[in-house]
Structure 1
Amino acid sequence: MGEHLGRVLVVDDDEVIRQLIAVNLTLEGFEVETASDGQDCLDRVLDVRPDVVTLDVMMPRLDGWATAARLRGDEGTSGIKVVMITARAQDDDRRRGRGIGVDAYLTKPFDPAELIEVVRGLALPERTG
């Protein structure tokens, strides 16, 4: 068993993408939990206590923006790093994300290696450089 890299909560309503992200991060050595949408994420985040949350933007019930804003607005979850995974990373999306406090963006379809690099950089900031 290698070093513990951190825990990631993967949130996506598409099961295929959710599993793709989860498998890639698990193989890399992260502990991974999954949630099927923003509401599911908020229901479980305090139990899971992730270092990083990956959020799909387009989800039923509660989208990625609303979920990120809730995470940021609650002192119990405000320190969690947030990666938005979006089909369109337009400038206005990035501005909106900056306003909420999103830490990073990945555009679908994403390269799994890039995903791992981004999550690792957020989960282990002291070890990158």
Structure 2
Amino acid sequence: MAGVGEVLGKVLVVDDDEVIRQLIAVNLNLEGFEVVTATDGQDCLDRVLDVMPDVVTLDVMMPCLDGWTTAERLRTGEATRHIKVVLITARAQDDDKRRGWEIGVDAYLTKPFDPAELIQVVRDLAATPRG
């Protein structure tokens, strides 16, 4: 855990399911991350430049703009291509994972996920520069 007052990084948590969104946010916040949330891919893209997170956790199946498209736009945006992206989704087929890697996501976790694994993945990504 982070020391008192120490912030490990900023995370933008994107999921249309409020329970999942809050579960992720609370776990990361308790670990010492500054957390901002968004309700779908469009909300993420609308807020990302103001937030400038180190890591985005992104659900795949969302209304308005799905996680695939959101991740692609983050990867192709000049100001956002450096942001680490973690897909967190119930879509666990090899084709889904391959699509994520082709887009250039940094990690892929399937639901249900282990909160400790999520925290470790986000911690590792926030601590390493994108290269």
Q: Which bin holds the TM-score, normalised by the shorter protein?
A: over 0.9
The correspondence for 2:46, drawn from 43, 46, 49, is 43
RMSD: 1.0
Gaps of 5+ in 1: none
> Distance in 2 between the 1:76 and 1:89 partners?
30
> Distance in 2 between the 1:90 and 1:82 partners?
19
Q: CA deviation at 1:71?
A: 0.3
> Distance in 1 between the 2:98 and 2:15 partners?
22
Deviates most, 15-24 or 84-93: 84-93
* Pair 1:54 & 2:69 matched: no
The correspondence for 2:77, drawn from 74, 82, 86, is 74
* Pair 1:18 & 2:33 matched: no
> Distance in 2 between the 1:4 and 1:54 partners?
17
**Identity level (%):** 81
User: Is this contact kept in 2: 1:25–1:116, CA < 8 A?
Assistant: yes
Deviating above 6 A after TM superposition, structure 1's stretches of 4 or more consecutive aligned residues are none
Amino acid at match of 2:104: G
> Distance in 2 between the 1:88 and 1:60 partners?
16
Amino acid at match of 1:41: C
Q: What secondary structure, in the 3-state scheme, does the structure 2 residue paired with 1:106 have?
A: strand
Gaps of 5+ in 2: none
Aligned residue in 2 for 1:33? 36
> Distance in 1 between the 2:109 and 2:19 partners?
17
Aligned residue in 1 for 2:68? 65
TM-score (norm 1): 0.94
> Distance in 1 between the 2:20 and 2:100 partners?
21
